[in-house]
């Protein structure tokens, strides 16, 4: 059959090929290449007997449509053979909350990386606390040392590698080994690498989470999240998302599907341009450190090389000490870089950040102002020329101030 990613072939299909052939059945859609956008709640049954027996491929809009089936199967294909189920959520944070609620119950204990996306901490400190679940934050670089923090009621360990502001690379297999020895689930926010560059489920992760808002969408025009679970957790994940009544609007599912088709083309461009810009920044006298795992200077570079097959366009820099007004002059001068939250779209972004007030298990003291960049799909030469203008503005403001 055409368009079957599981067809027996001389060699397994590469992820980029699977992203093209997976998740669609033209033969069921009058031959049209893409699965249509099914807007629907009610599904009609031909007879009363059929309704009583629920004899129908689709039952109700919330419970799945051809559009959601296409997206789920394409995502499952991308996660690899260990994936036994995918849940679609209306945002990345929704995916994180749903995954946590799937594996935790009152009285349980969670180990959460101190480098986690800040709203993830909010879920732990507020929602989970109210539900009788306690959280201990741990040093992202803890590795197998996490053993010392495991309690008899520890039921889940959450990793995010690298942290999306501070870029520590975690030893996910070592952490997962300890977690599994104690019967705890391993959850990972894998938004940065995506399964193209880090196959989380093959590295000991049980539930792999992505903010699809970022690279899956790829165009800064949707909110979307997903969780992929292995065979141990697929049922409880499905039941939790069903109970919460969460589903994604059909137009956003369609945009997520469209984004996935080009992910394997876009991500290598973000990777190459990101490394080029980061390397150039490393040579600037105004920059004291570049936090990019693919650069040999990064403390997590060896781990990144061991476990990851690429990097996205997101990294940070530490500037040599200058007044905040000089940092703002820099950010205002680089007009090709938008100032705003989120990332993973086709456009470049730059924002100031400060982790020092967020952290509780570790101290964040980088020794200068910090800026996070997302490198988009513009020509690298234009971005570097623009950054050069930015540093001129930074130096002028520093001298004036």
Ligand X SMILES: *Cc1c(COP(=O)(O)O)cnc(C)c1O
Closest by CA to 79, choosing from 256, 197, 176, 183, is 197
Q: Taking the CA atoms of 208, 214, 219 and 221 in sequence, report the sign of the dihedral they define.
A: positive
Strands 287-291 and 314-319: antiparallel
Query: Rounded CA gap, 375 and 378, in Å?
Result: 8
Nearer to ligand X by Cβ, of 211 and 255: the residue is 211
Residues 6+ apart with CB under 8 A from 378: 273, 336, 347, 348
Please, what is the minimum distance in Å from the beta carbon of residue 314 to ligand X? Answer: 8
Residue keyed to tokens 């290598």: 268
Query: Rounded CA gap, 239 and 356, in Å?
Result: 38
Closest by CA to 234, choosing from 54, 15, 57, 87, is 87
* Angular region, 211: left φ>0, alpha ψ -120 to 50, beta rest: beta
Nearer to ligand X by Cβ, of 191 and 194: the residue is 191
Please, what is the minimum distance in Å from the beta carbon of residue 284 to ligand X? Answer: 26
Q: How many CB atoms lie within 10 A of CB 332?
A: 12
* Interface residues toward ligand X, by CB under 6 A: 91-93, 117, 164, 189, 191, 211, 213-214, 223, 225, 342
125 carries an active-site annotation: no
- Under DSSP, the state recorded for 267 is H
Nearer to ligand X by Cβ, of 20 and 103: the residue is 103
Please, what is the minimum distance in Å from the beta carbon of residue 196 to ligand X? Answer: 16
Please, what is the minimum distance in Å from the beta carbon of residue 137 to ligand X? Answer: 16
Q: Where are the beta strands (DSSP E) in 161-257?
A: 185-189, 207-211, 225-229
Structure tokens at 245: 């009544």
Nearer to ligand X by Cβ, of 193 and 201: the residue is 193
54 carries an active-site annotation: no
Nearer to ligand X by Cβ, of 169 and 394: the residue is 169
Nearer to ligand X by Cβ, of 54 and 126: the residue is 126
CB-nearest residue to ligand X: 92
Q: Which whole-number Å values give the CA distances from 389 to 33, 136, 329, 332, 371, in the listed order?
A: 46, 44, 10, 10, 16
Catalytic residue among 189, 206, 252, 307: 189
Please, what is the minimum distance in Å from the beta carbon of residue 244 to ligand X? Answer: 15
62 carries an active-site annotation: yes
Catalytic residue among 24, 108, 117, 266: 117
Q: Is the peptide bond before 162 cis (omega within 30 degrees of 0)?
A: yes
Catalytic residue among 24, 155, 199, 214: 214
7 carries an active-site annotation: no
Query: Rounded CA gap, 201 and 212, in Å?
Result: 17
Query: Rounded CA gap, 325 and 366, in Å?
Result: 18
Please, what is the minimum distance in Å from the beta carbon of residue 243 to ligand X? Answer: 20
Please, what is the minimum distance in Å from the beta carbon of residue 117 to ligand X? Answer: 4
- Active-site residues: which are they? 62, 117, 189, 214
């Amino acid at each position: 059959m055409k368009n079957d990613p599981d067809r027996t072939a001389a060699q397994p299909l590469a992820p980029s090929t699977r992203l093209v052939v997976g998740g669609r059945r033209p033969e069921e859609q009058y031959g049209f290449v893409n699965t249509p956008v099914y807007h629907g709640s009610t599904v009609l049954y031909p007879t009363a007997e059929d309704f009583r027996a629920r004899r129908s491929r689709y039952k109700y809009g919330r419970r799945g449509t051809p559009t959601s089936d296409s997206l789920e199967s394409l995502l499952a294909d991308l996660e690899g053979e260990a994936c036994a189920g995918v849940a679609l959520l209306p945002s990345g944070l929704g995916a994180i909350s749903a995954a946590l609620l799937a594996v935790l119950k009152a009285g349980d204990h969670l180990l959460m990386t101190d480098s986690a996306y800040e709203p993830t901490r909010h879920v732990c400190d507020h929602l989970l606390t109210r539900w009788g679940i306690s959280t201990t934050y741990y040093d992202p670089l803890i590795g197998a040392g996490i053993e010392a923090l495991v309690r008899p009621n520890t039921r889940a360990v959450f990793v995010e590698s690298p942290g999306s502001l501070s870029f520590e690379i975690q030893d996910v297999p070592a952490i997962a080994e300890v977690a599994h020895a104690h019967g705890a689930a391993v959850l990972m926010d894998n938004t940065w690498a995506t399964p193209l560059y880090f196959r989380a489920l093959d590295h000991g992760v049980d539930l792999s989470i992505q903010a699809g808002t970022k690279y899956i969408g790829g165009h800064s025009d949707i909110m979307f999240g997903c969780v992929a679970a292995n065979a141990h957790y697929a049922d409880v994940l499905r039941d939790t998302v069903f109970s919460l009544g969460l589903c994604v609007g059909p137009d956003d599912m369609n945009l997520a599907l469209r984004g996935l088709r080009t992910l394997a083309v876009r991500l290598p461009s973000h990777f190459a341009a990101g490394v080029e810009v980061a390397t150039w920044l490393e040579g600037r006298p105004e920059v004291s450190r570049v936090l990019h795992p693919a650069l040999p200077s990064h403390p997590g570079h060896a781990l990144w090389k061991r476990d990851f097959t690429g990097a996205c366009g997101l990294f940070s820099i530490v500037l040599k000490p200058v007044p905040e007004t000089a940092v703002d002059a820099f950010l205002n001068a680089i007009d090709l870089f938008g100032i705003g939250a989120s990332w993973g779209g086709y456009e470049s972004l730059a924002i100031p950040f400060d982790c020092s007030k967020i952290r509780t298990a570790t101290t964040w003291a980088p020794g200068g102002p910090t800026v996070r960049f997302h490198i988009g799909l513009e020509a690298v030469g234009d971005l570097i020329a623009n950054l050069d203008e930015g540093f001129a503005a930074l130096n002028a403001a520093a001298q004036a101030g």
